[in-house]
């Protein structure tokens, strides 16, 4: 299950990657994208939950939420058949039960794992870059069977995880502020973070690469949701401090920000 001899470092993982520091790297584009990424992550601060919603916005949301616009010009409306399949909803209430190690292993592979035979994963990626890293936050020992609390990195090519740190030197208040700044307790003991390697996606496609990366995160979130067993649920959340959480994961705040988190847990 574990291979302690195979020590992991982010530097080792970059050995075979293109050199980002050469003269051809679009540094101006990177700086602009990094700045926009920071500006788009400023609302999830402690005490700031939904403070940006005024009365006018709330009135508009009554009409906009869970609704889609109908085209103003069309030739014909055609009703499609409905097969009445149940759609899996999001959950915000989880049971305090551990997840079996085998179930967790299967979940990671189904959602993000690498299919060596077909040279693909469970979701598409623009240009085959796969610039999104999966970071797992385990807040309690044995929330996942046999795993200690800490931050883990999922390595899809070998279907394994590396513990990056055990929250050493990180106070409970700091962890609270990073993961759930507007709550007293976390939704669950397990959160999945999606960290975008901005240099990797921008090097090839520049601005389009950033857009592709965000689209890919959406595909990954849905891949995880689809892969969940019946006794587990999830929901995606932006109410977190992404710069602080990125630092806790030992990632670079400018080069590999965590863009969104997905809480998972038992619901049976």
Helix 207-227, helix 198-205: angle, nearest 10: 130
pLDDT tens per residue, range 120-141: 898 999 999 999 999 999 999 9
Read off the pLDDT band of 14 (50, 70, 90): very low
Q: Which of 132, 129, 179, 131 is nearest to 151 (CA)?
A: 179
Indicate whether 4 pLDDT > 60. no
Q: Which of 245, 192, 196, 250 is nearest to 11 (CA)?
A: 250
pLDDT tens per residue, range 163-192: 999 999 999 999 999 999 989 999 999 999
Read off the pLDDT band of 118 (50, 70, 90): confident
pLDDT on residue 51: 63
Whole-angstrom distance, CA of residue 254 vs CA of residue 155: 21
Burial of 77 (0-12, 13-18, 19+ CB in 10 A): exposed
pLDDT tens per residue, range 33-92: 999 998 887 555 665 556 667 788 888 888 888 888 888 899 999 998 887 777 788 999
Lowest mean pLDDT among 115-129, 220-234, 248-262: 115-129
Q: Percent of the chain, pLDDT > 90? A: 63
Whole-angstrom distance, CA of residue 192 vs CA of residue 212: 20
Q: What would the mean pLDDT of 210-226 be, rounded to a whole number?
A: 97
The sign of the CA dihedral 169, 175, 267, 261 is: negative
If one compares 52 and 209, the residue with the highest pLDDT of the two is 209
Read off the pLDDT band of 15 (50, 70, 90): very low
Hey, what CATH topology would domain 94-268 get? NADH Oxidase (3.40.109)
Run of H or E residues at 233: strand 232-237
Q: What would the mean pLDDT of 154-159 be, rounded to a whole number?
A: 94
Mean pLDDT, rounded, of the chain: 87
């Amino acid at each position: 299950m574990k291979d302690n001899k195979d020590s992991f470092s982010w530097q080792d993982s970059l050995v075979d990657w293109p050199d980002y520091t050469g003269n051809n790297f679009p540094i101006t584009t990177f700086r602009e994208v990094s700045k926009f990424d920071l500006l788009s992550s400023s609302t999830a601060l402690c005490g700031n939950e939904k403070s940006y919603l005024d009365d006018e916005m709330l009135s508009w949301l009554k009409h906009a939420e869970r609704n889609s616009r109908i085209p103003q010009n069309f030739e014909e409306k055609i009703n499609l058949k409905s097969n009445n399949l149940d759609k899996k909803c999001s959950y915000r209430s989880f049971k305090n039960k551990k997840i079996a190690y085998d179930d967790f292993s299967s979940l990671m592979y189904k959602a993000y794992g690498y299919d060596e035979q077909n040279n693909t994963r469970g979701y598409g990626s623009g240009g085959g870059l796969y610039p999104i890293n999966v970071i797992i936050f385990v807040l309690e020992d044995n929330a996942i069977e046999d795993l200690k609390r800490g931050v883990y990195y999922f390595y899809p090519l070998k279907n394994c995880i590396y513990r990056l740190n055990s929250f050493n030197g990180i106070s409970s208040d700091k962890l609270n502020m990073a993961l759930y700044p507007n709550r007293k307790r976390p939704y669950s003991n397990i959160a999945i973070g999606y960290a975008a390697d901005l240099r990797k996606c921008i090097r090839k496609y520049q601005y389009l690469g950033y857009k592709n990366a965000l689209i890919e995160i959406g595909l990954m979130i849905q891949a995880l949701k689809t892969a969940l067993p019946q006794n587990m649920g999830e929901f995606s959340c932006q109410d977190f401090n992404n710069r602080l959480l990125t630092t806790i994961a030992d990632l670079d705040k400018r080069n590999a920000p965590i863009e969104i988190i997905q809480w998972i847990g038992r619901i049976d």
